Structures are given as structure tokens and as C-alpha cells.
Amino acid sequence: MEVNSKVNFDWQGSQFEGIIEKEYENSVLVSVLNPTSEVKEKYLGRVVVSKKTCQPLISI
């Protein structure tokens, strides 16, 4: 996974899309493209998720 790549991920039982902002050893900081109101308010539209839950989006 690379910075600025689009991914799908599961977070607290919901599916989201986002763009990787920063990569850590076992996780990534993702700017959520389709945030819920909770994600917008509590997390400002950015969350840290495990790399295991991320799947790259393939553009056609």
C-alpha cells in the first residue's frame, strides 16, 4: 500500500472508502471519502486502521 492510494476498509462494522495519508508499520491513516456523521464529528474524517482490513481499489 502506498500513500495517496484509494482503499476499501472495514471499521466498526461498516464499509468505507478512503485515501491513505500516512503509512505506519501495521496500520495506515486514512482520509475517509464517505464518512458517517460520527466519523466526521469525532474523528474529523480521518481514522487509523489496520493494514489487514484495507483492500486497494482498482480503477478501470
pLDDT, one tens digit per residue, over 10-25 is 988 889 999 999 999 9
Cell representation of residue 15? 464499509
Burial of 26 (0-12, 13-18, 19+ CB in 10 A): exposed
Asked if 5 and 20 count as a contact pair (C-beta separation under 8 A), the reply is: yes
Residue 60 included in any domain: no
**Within a domain: residue 44?**
yes
The reply to whether 1 falls in a domain is: no
Question: Model-level pTM?
Answer: 0.86
* Nearest residue to 27 via CA among 7, 54, 8, 45: 54
Domains held by the chain: number: 1
Per-residue confidence band for 59, with pLDDT thresholds at 50, 70 and 90: low
**pLDDT above 90 covers what percent of the chain?**
80
Torsions phi, psi for 13 (to 5 deg)? 80, 5
In a domain, 37, yes or no: yes
Residue 36 lies in a domain: yes
Range of the domain at 44: 6-54
> Does a structural domain hold residue 59?
no
